[in-house]
Structure 1
């Protein structure tokens, strides 16, 4: 049975962690299949948006720690290099050029939280739980968690969450911006959004590129990217039709 399921419904691709009997905990086999799914998606010209979720009652309960770190008697530098390879298995989600949505219906703990954070939009259900719980088990955060939490909820809230290492409930997560949307059925809502964005795939990808530039580059670079993308978008049929309607009203 595949540990990661990939299903296409029109231009929307759903990637599902498929180890429900262990709450979709990540071991090296799951991560290898996840990386393959992400790499395939990056090369799939027919995919206009992506939804990431988990089978069963958990989004992802974190890493299977017994096998994740390998031989702990190795030098620290070797463990670091190994971990960076592990991180790359899911951080490829950040590099996808199409919008990505995490549908979080249950626990997203540790590395599972990282997978959700690597997506552009998090849709959380009433039973969602978000766990930056590294410190609670004596482990430093990894997998980009520190950076992605700061990006999403700000420095002070990220600092508090990581130092505390506690579970963040669905309502509080939404209040602080950890999740973007709440829905009784987060998978259905994420798919609805993905379908909408995929219908205007070229524009959605350009907007994602501009937002990424605005986040990580200076204002002048952002203006350059926006100006070119806006100029290119004037050729699409939706805008041209709107322009005709607008002109008729004036």
Structure 2
């Protein structure tokens, strides 16, 4: 059985964590398949948007701790290097040119939360739970959680959640901006948004690049990037048609 399923519906690709009997908990085999799926997506130019989800009732219950860390008697530096390789299995989601949307229908815990955070947009269902729970098991956060959580909900809220090792329910997640929107069926909603993005594939990619640039650059540089991208987009068939329609009404 494949531990990660990759399906295409036209230009929309869905990547599904597929170990529902263990709530999609991550082991090294699943992560290897996920890394391969992300690499293939990066190399496939026809993918216009990506939906990431989990099979069954959980998005991802986190790491299978028994096999994830390996030999704990190794020097700390060796464990660190091993963990950075683990992180690379899913953080490639952040580098995809196409927009990525996480459909979180159930628990997203620990490293599972990181996979959701690595996506551009998070759609939650009513049974979603988000767990930066590392401290609750005596473990420092990893996999980019500290940075991505601060990016999403701000320093003070991220600090409070990580120090507590909190489990954040769907209502709270929506209130603090951890989830971008809610839907009774988050996968259907994620697919709707993905289809919209994929239908404007080049525009969606340039918007993603501009937003990513805005998080790193100053205002003046962001204006320069936007001005060039907007100028290029005036040549699109959609814009020219809308411009003609507008001109005909005036």
TM-score for both structures, normalised by structure 2? 0.99
Counterpart of 1:134 in structure 2 is 134
Q: Distance in 1 between matches of 2:227 and 2:66?
A: 50
Q: What are the superposed Cα offsets for residues 188-213 of structure 1, whole Å, 9 maximum, x if unpaired? A: 00000000110000000000000000
Instruction: List 4+ stretches of structure 1 deviating above 3 A.
Output: none
Counterpart of 1:55 in structure 2 is 55
Answering whether residue 155 of structure 2 is matched by residue 155 of structure 1, we say yes
Which structure 2 residues correspond to residues 1-250 of structure 1 after superposition, within 5 A? 1-250=1-250
Deviates more, 1:125-134 or 1:225-234: 225-234
Q: Which runs of 5+ in 2 are unaligned?
A: none
Q: What are the superposed Cα offsets for residues 147-167 of structure 1, whole Å, 9 maximum, x if unpaired? A: 000000000100000011021
SS in 2 for 1:47: coil
RMSD: 0.6
SS in 2 for 1:45: coil
In the TM superposition, what is the alpha-carbon distance from 1:90 to its structure 2 partner?
A: 0.2
In the TM superposition, what is the alpha-carbon distance from 1:223 to its structure 2 partner?
A: 1.6
Q: What are the superposed Cα offsets for residues 88-108 of structure 1, whole Å, 9 maximum, x if unpaired? A: 000000000111000000000
Q: Distance in 1 between matches of 2:3 and 2:115?
A: 15
In the TM superposition, what is the alpha-carbon distance from 1:220 to its structure 2 partner?
A: 2.3
SS in 1 for 2:94: helix
SS in 1 for 2:47: coil
Q: Distance in 2 between matches of 1:198 and 1:180?
A: 19
Q: What are the superposed Cα offsets for residues 157-188 of structure 1, whole Å, 9 maximum, x if unpaired? A: 00000011021000110000000010000000
Q: Distance in 2 between matches of 1:247 and 1:207?
A: 26
Deviates more, 1:237-246 or 1:114-123: 237-246
Q: Distance in 2 between matches of 1:192 and 1:5?
A: 19
Q: What are the superposed Cα offsets for residues 225-245 of structure 1, whole Å, 9 maximum, x if unpaired? A: 111111110111110011111
In the TM superposition, what is the alpha-carbon distance from 1:69 to its structure 2 partner?
A: 0.8
Q: Distance in 1 between matches of 2:217 and 2:24?
A: 36
In the TM superposition, what is the alpha-carbon distance from 1:221 to its structure 2 partner?
A: 2.0
**How many residues matched?**
250
In the TM superposition, what is the alpha-carbon distance from 1:249 to its structure 2 partner?
A: 2.2
